[in-house]
């Protein structure tokens, strides 16, 4: 097939003056090159497009593709990940991964948790706080965990995210709201094991490829898979298949299909004090760095090569191409 490739390259934004943290969700050139090489090795012709503005220019000029491999994050707004899918829908061009509705919903962790709770799935009690004054209405018991409501790659997650009193809660929420210009998500802290579940496929064909347990090293920030821990690789990863992991896999598939996610992604879960996993968040646009990507690490441990992972995305998306 002739495949268009949409993405946001971190280096492009850094050259425009954005910081490393502001561009943390964007991709290194190694990832872009790895995806292109995998697609080419599968026999496809790849047209490198870039972000939504480049895509708009290409579409206006009349460019079309059999399929677009969409890996673009977008830069602004809660629906930034939905921009490319929505534009492709308007031009009736099929693409990989989830649609704009899923991306707009899942980027906002609070909205996602409302829907997931409606599906009857366990998730920590929470509140979305748009200003420190709203904390007067939050009655969740300590300890709590606080993070930006619509950031990925653990941006905004640090040692300060774990709060044990009203003063630290106020300080952390104020800092996150001001620094990231978005509300803060306040959740009941879960002290147990942390899993990320890898999923490929869509609907009835969606399947779990493995459950990865993330444990922090001795040098790590405590209480969570923070931005610093992820950046410094202060974590160990191992596939697990015990009862809590199996429960996490069931939760992940329920969430995946309940939200309408497609092709490839991750669902993160964490256990409470009784060892029961709860849904934390879903990532339908997972990191695919060939060495450091959590899903790539999971797939490798499960015996799935990088090229096989990319091929599974194409195979799943190809079912939506009109015959």
CATH number at residue 183: 3.30.1490.20
Is 8 a domain residue? yes
DSSP H helices in the chain: 10-15, 29-41, 52-60, 83-90, 100-107, 109-118, 166-180, 227-231, 243-259, 294-301, 306-318
Is 58 a domain residue? yes
Cα dist from 272 to 97, 127, 245, whole Å: 31, 18, 13
Q: Are residues 247 and 284 in the same domain?
A: yes
How many Cα atoms are found within 13 Å in the side-chain-facing hemisphere of 43?
3
Phi (first) and psi of residue 22, to 5 degrees: -65, -25
Tell me how far apart the alpha carbons of residues 299 and 305 are, in angstroms, rounded to a whole number.
7
Residue 307 · residue 284 · CB < 8 Å:
no
Q: Provide the domain limits for residue 251.
A: 191-318
Q: Are residues 205 and 274 in the same domain?
A: yes
Is 111 a domain residue? no
Predicted confidence pLDDT, tens digits, the chain (323 residues): 999 999 999 988 888 888 877 788 888 999 999 999 999 999 999 999 999 999 999 999 999 999 999 999 998 899 999 999 999 999 999 999 999 999 999 999 999 999 999 999 999 999 999 999 999 999 999 999 999 999 887 889 989 999 999 999 999 999 999 999 999 999 999 999 999 999 999 999 999 999 999 998 876 566 565 455 455 566 899 999 999 999 999 999 999 999 999 999 999 999 999 999 999 999 999 999 999 999 999 999 999 999 999 999 999 999 999 98
Q: Are residues 167 and 222 in the same domain?
A: no
Q: Are residues 249 and 306 in the same domain?
A: yes
Burial 235-249 (b: 16+ CB within 10 A, else e): beeebeeeebbebbb
Residue 306 · residue 290 · CB < 8 Å:
yes
Tell me how far apart the alpha carbons of residues 140 and 167 are, in angstroms, rounded to a whole number.
14
Q: Are residues 217 and 274 in the same domain?
A: yes
Nearest-CA neighbor of 75 among 14, 123, 13?
13
Is 119 a domain residue? no
Q: Are residues 223 and 272 in the same domain?
A: yes
Q: Where a domain ends, among 188, 210, 239? A: 188
CATH number of the structural domain spanning residue 252: 3.30.470.20
Q: Are residues 150 and 254 in the same domain?
A: no
Q: Are residues 199 and 308 in the same domain?
A: yes
Q: Are residues 174 and 205 in the same domain?
A: no
Q: Are residues 37 and 79 in the same domain?
A: yes
Tokens for 136, please give them: 């007067």
Q: How many domains does the chain have?
A: 3
* pTM over the 0.85 mark: yes
Distant-in-sequence, close-in-space partners of 284: CB < 8 Å, separation ≥ 6: 97, 98, 102, 103, 106, 259, 261, 262, 265
CATH number of the structural domain spanning residue 100: 3.40.50
């Amino acid at each position: 097939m002739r495949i268009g490739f949409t993405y946001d390259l971190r280096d492009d934004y850094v050259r425009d003056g954005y910081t490393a943290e502001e561009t943390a969700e964007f991709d290194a050139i190694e990832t872009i090159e790895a995806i292109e090489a995998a697609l080419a090795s599968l026999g496809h012709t790849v047209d490198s497009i870039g972000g939504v503005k480049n895509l708009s220019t290409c579409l206006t000029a009349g460019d079309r593709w059999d399929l677009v491999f969409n890996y673009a994050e977008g830069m602004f707004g809660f629906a930034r990940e939905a921009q490319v899918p929505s534009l492709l829908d308007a031009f009736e061009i099929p693409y990989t991964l989830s649609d704009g509705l899923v991306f707009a919903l899942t980027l906002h962790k609070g909205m996602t948790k409302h829907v997931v709770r409606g599906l009857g799935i366990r998730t920590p009690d929470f509140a979305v706080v748009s200003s420190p004054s709203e904390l007067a209405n939050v009655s969740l018991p300590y300890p709590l965990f606080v993070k930006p409501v619509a950031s990925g790659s653990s941006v905004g997650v640090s040692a300060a995210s774990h709060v044990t009193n009203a003063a630290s809660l106020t300080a952390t929420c104020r800092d996150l709201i001001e620094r990231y210009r978005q509300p803060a998500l306040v959740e009941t802290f879960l002290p147990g094991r942390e899993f990320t579940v890898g999923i490929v496929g869509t609907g009835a064909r969606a399947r779990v490829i493995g459950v990865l347990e993330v444990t922090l090293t001795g040098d790590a920030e405590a209480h969570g898979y923070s931005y610093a821990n992820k950046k410094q690789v202060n974590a160990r990863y191992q596939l697990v298949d015990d009862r809590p992991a199996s429960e996490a896999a069931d939760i992940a598939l329920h969430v995946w299909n309940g939200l309408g996610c497609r092709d490839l992604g991750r669902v993160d879960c964490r256990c409470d004090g009784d060892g029961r996993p709860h849904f934390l968040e879903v990532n339908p646009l997972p990191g695919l760095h060939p060495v450091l990507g959590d899903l790539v690490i999971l797939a490798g441990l499960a015996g799935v090569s990088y090229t096989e992972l990319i091929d599974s995305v194409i195979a799943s998306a190809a079912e939506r191409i009109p015959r």
